Amino acid sequence: MPTIVIIGAQWGDEGKGKIVDFLTEKCDYVVRFQGGCNAGHTIVVGNEKYILHLLPSGILHKNKKCIIANGVVLDPSVLLKEIDILRSKGIEVDNNLFIAKHCHLVMPYHIAIEEQMEKRNKIGTTKKGIGPSYTEKIARNGIRMIDLLYPEVLKSKIKANLELINFLLKNLYGVKSLYEEEIFNQYIEYAEKLKKYIVDTDIIINQAIDNGQNILFEGAQGTLLDIDHGTYPYVTSSNTIAGSACTGTGISPKKIDKIIGIVKAYTTRVGEGPFPTEIKDSLGENIRKKGKEYGATTGRPRRCGWLDLVGLKHALRINGFTGIAVTKLDILDGIETLKVCVGYKYGDVILEDFPKELEIFHNCTPIYEELPGWKESTAGIKDYEKLPQNAKNYLQFIEDFLKVKLQIISTGQKRDEIIIKEFPL
């Protein structure tokens, strides 16, 4: 019986949604364990495109149990909208959705304060209130799902938290305060709609594992956005790495069998922050257009660049990938020469490992290996042998450099546009 964790190996947007969707066929449960509606997982089923922000991607499959576990920060207004959209398309979630009692909530004042914080110190966040919600959680003032079921507790927590937030909004940022009563009434309405989903998800997940069921843990964002191991402070506010699947759900590290790193065939990043292999000329623009590299949550254009094996080596070390999936290979079709970053040069020093210092990121230059590209289209190829030789060479270079098994290659948006070299479960 395997448990499998799916993790983005770069700065998010690696195409995890499609791989999760594909592997869900073999799983009984799909679990989100960190992040919130800053995530945007795009899945194409037939002619229908779904963008999920909070619901685990497994929700698009019939009879798969989907869990939003304790490590997530949940904005009820976004979740309810998502449920309504699925319902309007004939997908019912009621029997399949479970939310942790101890999952923290995103409140309107988190979004309001983040808006102001971004004006002072721009990280380029999604402005979904994710950072301020985790801040409150760590400060031990957070409001949890279970508080929705105890109106007096909810009321007093909103009151206490708003005292501080309103003080800052009014006196530091000079903008209008928010009303306690309005927020309370809104959240009581949400409580009515969401209470049927609130359960002890840690118990459910552990029992499912003990009963031999297959569990998929669906990561959001990517390793290089991890609050501890990413390009701090240009990161998200949660741990996005495989270890987070344990803390974010309440399972032992002993219970994780497989960890798959999702690697886009090139690199993208949204928001501010270091990106040594960024391509700033028209080629970057072409990749953006061809790869439809615009944020699924914010619509912002993603910065595009060459594959960075230094970042990927870091991701491999920290996550312990048992295999990788390379996505969006077809977007590189037709590029004459492909560059792959194998080190950074900082002054006279050659760095083989991902730096911690912003100073180094800002002043280093990537060291590239150049590989010949391929003219043929790889779009929709399902058989590894049918790939152009230079595409195989490119993939082999990645595999050899990282010393990890390449198990899946995605060659298009649709479910079946995929090559399985080795089934990861």
Find the shortest distance in angstroms from Cβ 39 to ligand IMP: 4
Of 14 and 381, CB closest to ligand IMP? 14
Catalytic residue (one of 41, 53, 102, 104): 41
Q: How far apart are CA 121 and CA 53, in angstroms?
A: 25
Strand 406-410 to 418-420 pairing: antiparallel
CB nearer ligand IMP, residue 40 or residue 243 = 40
Nearest in space to 78 (alpha carbons), one of 113, 116, 118, 51: 51
The minimum distance between CB 321 and ligand IMP, in angstroms, equals: 19
Which three-class secondary structure state does DSSP give residue 169? Answer: helix
Nearer to ligand IMP, 303 or 339 (CB): 303
Question: How many angstroms separate the CA atoms of 139 and 161, rounded?
Answer: 11
Cβ 78 to ligand IMP shortest distance, Å = 13
* Residue 18 vs 65, nearer CB to ligand IMP: 18
Residues engaged in binding ligand IMP (CB under 6 A): 12-13, 38-40, 123-126, 128, 130-131, 220-221, 225, 236-237, 270-271
Residue 2 or 301 having the CB closest to ligand IMP = 301
Query: Does the annotation mark 362 as catalytic?
Result: no
Contact in structure between 404 and 261 (CB atoms under 8 Å) = yes
- Spatial contact of 5 and 315, defined as CB atoms under 8 Å apart: no
Would you call 110 a catalytic residue per the annotation? no
- Token pair 């007093």 is found at 156
Which residue's Cβ lies closest to ligand IMP?
A: 271
CB of 235 to ligand IMP, least distance (A): 6
Name the DSSP letter for residue 300: P
Tokens of 261: 């790193």
CA distance 308 to 398: 10
Cβ neighbourhood burial of 109 (10 Å; 0-12, 13-18, 19+): buried
- DSSP strands (E only) in 265-336: 267-269, 303-305, 307-308, 323-327
Nearest distance in Å: CB 366, ligand IMP: 20
Least CB distance to ligand IMP at residue 279 (A): 18
What's the per-residue H, E or C state across 53-105? CCCCHHHHCCCCEEEECCCEEECHHHHHHHHHHHHHCCCCCCCCEEEECCCEE
* CB nearer ligand IMP, residue 38 or residue 322: 38
- Which CB atom, from 142 or from 343, has the smaller least distance to ligand IMP? 142
Nearest approach in angstroms of CB 95 to ligand IMP is 28
Task: Report the DSSP pairing between strands 258-264 and 198-199.
Answer: unpaired
**Residue in 13, 21, 308, 330 annotated catalytic:** 13
Neighbours of 106 (CB within 10 A): 28
Residue whose C-alpha is closest to residue 183's, from 111, 282, 83: 111
Query: Closer CB to ligand IMP, residue 130 or residue 245?
Result: 130
State the Cα torsion 119-125-131-132 to the nearest 10°: 40
CA 114 to CA 236: how far, in whole Å? 13
Residue 19 CB, nearest approach to ligand IMP (Å) = 15
Residues catalogued as catalytic: 13, 41
